[in-house]
Amino acid sequence: MSKPTDKDLFANTTMTFGEHLEELRACLFKAVVGLAIGFVLGLLVGDWVVDFIQRPLRDALTAYYQKQSLNWVEDHLGKIRTGDQPLPWTAEQISQIVNQEKLLPEEAYVDPAEILRALKKKELYQEQPVDVEPPPSGADKELERRDLLRIFVWHRIEDDLRVQTKSLSAHEAFMTYIKAALLVGALIASPWIFYQIWSFVAAGLYPHEKQYVHVFLPFSLGLFLLGAAMAFFFVFKPVLNFLFYFNSALGIDPDPRISEWLGFVLVLPLGFGISFQLPLVMLFLERIGVFDVHVYLSRWRIAILVIFTLAMFLTPADPTSMMLMAVPLTLLYFGGILLCHYMPRSGSPFRGLDD
């Protein structure tokens, strides 16, 4: 039976410090080249990406101003209704218009005498002339609010400037487009970048350890994408609702800038993607003999404390995002223990050193 060869993608096992630096330089250069190619491809879809990443923010702003409008109607419905001019809608009907028809109400005042005068001037274009004679001009009379007619004016939510992100400088929109293209480029090039990272790690390992790199690479990429997707699809909404709650409580309407939101979009998924590498890091350290299942189990309290501390630094300054990261990481920690238990290393971690 022929002896198995040690031929793989990572052939060198013994390297000097200078060779390690040269290997790092080569891996970083290849990773940057891959990122540049992905960035060029991202420029083709940058405008679509900018619109896509704004959706969670627009949805949160829409929900915020819908709720604000309904609260306003509830507070003012009794004041708006008068004995001789009842409100044409109930609070339930207004709620239906706001939530289903996606319209927001505004209170407006018009001068009924001015409306009649305007209609009188346009009677030539009507089949039936206006029979009601408008009152004389009140130039000498002080106009008061009680003389005006209170009405509701409705407009579409998507046309409301308050639910649209804004740029406060001439170059901000262009830089947002570039950052969006860079984000797409990073996602496209992520398999290649992860391969270069693990290549550098594998170059300093022994032959029996390098086999783990081939197994961990696809799982590492999958966990990174899973963490980033969780942040975008499941974390942004509750975090924004939590933050906007304080806007409502303090009476301060949010007016977000696109550059600030894009920075939020970049930081949170990146933190989630990196932190989701925890099970593989645990399994890798167990395979090379740094830790074992007994150590992981006996130090679980310290591990959870470290997880919550890291989640505090990897997320914005709000408890919602911290908890949404720390809780899955705690589950992943115990998942990593199960991986180490059901996929134990065979033999000593130092076997093969004399081969």
Domain ranges in the chain are: 17-55+165-342, 76-162
DSSP 8-state class, residue 285: H
Per-residue pLDDT at 329 exceeds 60: yes
- The owner of tokens 């409008």 is 69
Tell me which of 144 and 95 has the higher pLDDT: 95
CA separation (Å) from 224 to 190, 211, 214, 217, 220?
Answer: 9, 21, 16, 11, 6
Tell me the per-residue pLDDT of 285-303, one tens digit each, with 9 for 90 and over.
887 778 888 999 999 999 9
What is the arithmetic mean of pLDDT over 35-45? Answer: 91
- Per-residue pLDDT band for 352 (boundaries 50, 70, 90) equals very low
What is the arithmetic mean of pLDDT over 66-86? Answer: 67
Lowest mean pLDDT among 33-37, 62-66, 185-189, 198-202: 198-202
Best-predicted range by mean pLDDT (6-20, 130-144, 167-181): 167-181
Give the tokens for residue 101.
């028809």
CA separation (Å) from 39 to 140, 184, 185, 187, 215?
Answer: 68, 7, 4, 9, 28
Tell me the per-residue pLDDT of 161-217, one tens digit each, with 9 for 90 and over.
888 888 878 888 888 888 888 888 888 888 888 888 877 777 666 666 666 667 777
Give the tokens for residue 9.
């993608």
Tell me the per-residue pLDDT of 212-222, one tens digit each, with 9 for 90 and over.
667 777 888 88
Kindly report the pTM of this predicted structure: 0.68
